[in-house]
Structure 1
Amino acid sequence: MKPAIDDRAGGQAKANLLAGVRVLEWTRSMSAAFCVRVLADLGAEVLKLEQPGAGDPLRASGPFAPDARYGDDGALFAYLNHGKESVTLDPARPAGLKLLRRLMESTDLFVVSQSEPRLRALGLDIDTLQRINPALVVVSVTPFGAVSAAQDNAPSTTDFTLTHHAGYAFHQARPVHAPGEQAPVACADREVALATGVAAANGALWGLLDAQMNGTGRMIDCAQADVIAHLLIEPVADYGRGERTFSRVREELQGTEVAGGLIWLLPCNDGFVMVSPREQHQWERWVELLGNPAWSRDVSLCGGREARNLNWLILQEEMSAWTRRHSRADVFERAQAARVACFPVSGARDLLDNAQLHARAFFDRWSDGSPEALCMPGLPFALRTSGGAELPRARRVNAPTLGQANRHVFEERLGLTRGEVETLRQDGVI
């Protein structure tokens, strides 16, 4: 499990921090899959267990690539499983469970999303697994945790139910002018899954380092509900200082003011910008940029923060008269040059054209069979060792085909004959 640096490939040293670390993933959880994806990015050797004949349900979940082979065209599956190898195996079958236990003997990290009772029924509880491999690290990623008051009787969970259970949906969906008509909604775009995946990956790295130093594996219990609840720093602090009248009602019934005269969302001729001239010196530079209009010299209207807070809606309309004549990029660049906090509100198209992200080689490209590869989000960090080795960026993403590693794993790693593998395949075990 010792971290290593690969030899130079293509003239550039490649940092594989987890080279030699073997990870086994048995999960249908997006959080667990993203956790393992991060570990694969860091160089771990990952085997992903999939159901024989069917595979991960995300293979059939859109959006789909237009020209990829049917069954290998799910964009989300490709994103979550790049860098992994697919093995088909059914641990619910006695022969499949036996093979899985054999794989554990040479595995460093086992990532699962099954409930504790399910694992115990199969003889895959932490005590049994560590008798098989004392240094094995097990990471459990479930909605409410392996140790939970809610787990046994929990309904089917989604990002929507988890954000409401943990109180995050209420926190995100405020303020509004009609709470009875505008119900809280779930987090945007897989936020629960991705945040939990990062947290679980951090826990896995700690477990691997601990096992390397002490020779004994650990059970790491990561609950999605815990990850979401721990983000509620401000509401918990407010409650601790005596706040008891939490409300989602907006004090004003119109406009797009965000934070009491400190932040404004302003329309441009091609979208919106956020601007935040909080301090007096920032405000003065902002109105100078606007041409020092007559209203900006009205002390009662905007002479200080208190006045700006009181008159935010009037100021929003006045400032919008200027921003509407300009593009988002123009307002952003001028505000930045004036040292005023400002940024454009971006959509997907804007991100794909973002010069900053391209300068950092952020986007990977998915080899989906199309004439032109499609962009995908890449690593959220860059890493360079003291020797100059780097984690690859701007990579070409390839989704593993179902069962692509079966022969290598069952014949070479476990020593089965080709005939034995064929029998297991016909029986639906692999």
Structure 2
Amino acid sequence: MTDALDLKVVELAEFVAGPYCGKLLSDFGAEVIKVERPGIGDRARHLGPFAGDRPDPEASGTFLYLNTNKKSVALDIETEEGRTLFRQLVADADVLIEDRAPGELAAMGLGYDDLAAINPGLVMVSITPFGQTGPYAGYRAEHLNLYHASGQGYLLPMWAINLDVPPCQGPGYLGLYDGGMAGATAALAALFWRGSGGTGQHIDISVQHAMMHLERSQLRRYVDDGKSPNRTGKGRLLESLVECKGGEYAVVILSSQRQWEGLWRAMGKPAWGMEPPFDTQKGRSENYHELRKRLAEWAITVTQDELFHAVQAEGSAAAPILTAEGVFRSEQFRGRGHFTEISHPVAGTLEYVAQPTKLSDFDPGPKRPAPLLGADTEAVLGQDPAGRPELSHTGAI
């Protein structure tokens, strides 16, 4: 196995988007130093979920997942002493990840131009709801706002029976993870460019834009057709959601004649499947609602697992809609080593999701637990609070 990446990353970010960007880099071996407010820390520490519903800022499931392999420095950049120490921390960093409102760091003398003056090679990744420019740049937003502002909310639920079913928000903080992934990808691209003779640069990530970018294949249909995509599936013969025995769900694919023939065989070759109007792709599309009804009548007679394996065995495609329990007992995930145990001094031993990538010469993924608040302040800054009472008194560390 190769050694860890020789990269120093400073993370001045909270909650999900910025920390996920840092997590992706830390899991691949970068040294990620997380700057947190003394005594308070990342707000994710206080939001949970908590095991047994017992709040503990050192045992938030959200924080524990997003901050594996990182170091924690308690540092208040609202103080002049804190800003001085922050500049020293960034002076030899490769990447700075930050999620403050546009202009906020510049007002403190910590904007990109200020930091680039002391570190020309710095790649600064700014992740904000709407980016650094545009009429919404100064707006605050939570995941709910961003999900619908991106267009993704309208597209869900994609298999709605009719448009009386209102749009919904994606689960968890899915869109914020999109923003974090965009930030990590852009940071690596900037580092490659710097390594080829370029300089550092400022990367502007809009979470709204990142979310919209991932749904462009559906949203662009407005440009093609002049009307919004229809999430009921009418006139869009690609797939169908069906309920299986036991109340679990699956998706069957209907995008071609070949896919249909495989599904038809898996259903036991019902006569109607090869009779008009269901014997052609055009006929199935024009009679999609009746087709869905017949698929539902078959699916409810088999379990999710039986449907999946039967369709796959016929060379067609189907996907089980896994519950949380289904994900954790999936033989495929277990077979790939998708989960790993890590011991934390407060939260105990927990199972974490590993990185999905498999590299032949490096084992990415979480190996160390999320840090306790300020656990690495002295080691990273060389500042012992007991030995620097003036810094402790001002709240800088």
Q: What SS class does the counterpart of residue 51 from structure 2 fall into?
A: coil
Partner Cα separation in structure 2 for residue 78 and residue 186 of structure 1: 24
Q: CA deviation at 1:166?
A: 2.8
Deviations 1:45-72 (A, max 9, x none): 1110111111111111121134999321
Partner Cα separation in structure 1 for residue 26 and residue 97 of structure 2: 13
Aligned to 1:352: 328
Partner Cα separation in structure 2 for residue 368 and residue 186 of structure 1: 32
Aligned to 2:363: 391
Partner Cα separation in structure 1 for residue 363 and residue 136 of structure 2: 40
Partner Cα separation in structure 2 for residue 291 and residue 312 of structure 1: 20
- 1:294-309 matches, cutoff 5 A: 294-297=271-274, 299-309=275-285
Partner Cα separation in structure 2 for residue 275 and residue 191 of structure 1: 24
Counterpart selection for 1:94 from 80, 84, 97: 80
Q: Are positions 1:284 and 2:261 aligned together?
A: yes
Partner Cα separation in structure 1 for residue 207 and residue 50 of structure 2: 27
Q: Are positions 1:32 and 2:21 aligned together?
A: no
Partner Cα separation in structure 2 for residue 382 and residue 213 of structure 1: 26
Q: Are positions 1:244 and 2:226 aligned together?
A: yes
Aligned to 1:209: 192
Counterpart selection for 1:229 from 196, 203, 212: 212
Contact 2:385 2:391 in 1 (8 A): no
Contact 2:48 2:55 in 1 (8 A): no
Q: Are positions 1:328 and 2:304 aligned together?
A: yes
Q: CA deviation at 1:183?
A: 3.6
Between stretches 91-100 and 232-241, larger displacement belongs to 232-241
2:391 maps to amino acid: L
Partner Cα separation in structure 2 for residue 161 and residue 140 of structure 1: 19
Partner Cα separation in structure 2 for residue 344 and residue 366 of structure 1: 29
Deviations 1:242-297 (A, max 9, x none): x33437585xxxxxx67645422222213122112443344334333323334335
Q: Are positions 1:172 and 2:156 aligned together?
A: yes
Partner Cα separation in structure 2 for residue 244 and residue 278 of structure 1: 23
Q: Give TM-score, length-normalised by structure 2.
A: 0.90
Q: CA deviation at 1:369?
A: 6.5
2:25 maps to amino acid: L
Deviations 1:187-222 (A, max 9, x none): 222121111111100111122223333362111111
Counterpart selection for 2:167 from 184, 197, 211: 184
Aligned to 1:6: none
Partner Cα separation in structure 2 for residue 260 and residue 148 of structure 1: 35
Partner Cα separation in structure 1 for residue 148 and residue 91 of structure 2: 40
Between stretches 39-48 and 307-316, larger displacement belongs to 307-316
Q: What SS class does the counterpart of residue 145 from structure 1 fall into?
A: coil
Aligned to 1:193: 176
Q: Are positions 1:375 and 2:359 aligned together?
A: no
Q: Are positions 1:122 and 2:89 aligned together?
A: no
Partner Cα separation in structure 2 for residue 371 and residue 126 of structure 1: 37
Contact 2:35 2:73 in 1 (8 A): yes
Q: CA deviation at 1:105?
A: 1.7
Deviations 1:328-362 (A, max 9, x none): 11121111111111121111111111122122211
Partner Cα separation in structure 2 for residue 265 and residue 364 of structure 1: 32
Aligned to 1:163: 147
Counterpart selection for 2:291 from 315, 331, 334: 315
Q: How many residues align?
A: 396
Give me the identity figure in percent: 28
Q: Give TM-score, length-normalised by structure 1.
A: 0.83
Partner Cα separation in structure 1 for residue 115 and residue 346 of structure 2: 43
2:380 maps to amino acid: V
1:110 maps to amino acid: L
1:280 maps to amino acid: Q
Between stretches 110-119 and 223-232, larger displacement belongs to 223-232
What 5-or-longer segments of structure 1 have no aligned partner? 1-12, 251-256
Aligned to 1:404: 375
Contact 1:68 1:370 in 2 (8 A): no
Contact 1:269 1:327 in 2 (8 A): yes
- Which protein has the larger Cα radius of gyration, Structure 1 or Structure 2? 1
Between stretches 211-220 and 344-353, larger displacement belongs to 211-220
Counterpart selection for 1:427 from 375, 385, 394: 394
What 5-or-longer segments of structure 2 have no aligned partner? none
2:396 maps to amino acid: V
CA RMSD of aligned residues (A): 2.8
Aligned to 1:9: none
Deviations 1:83-103 (A, max 9, x none): 100000001101111111111
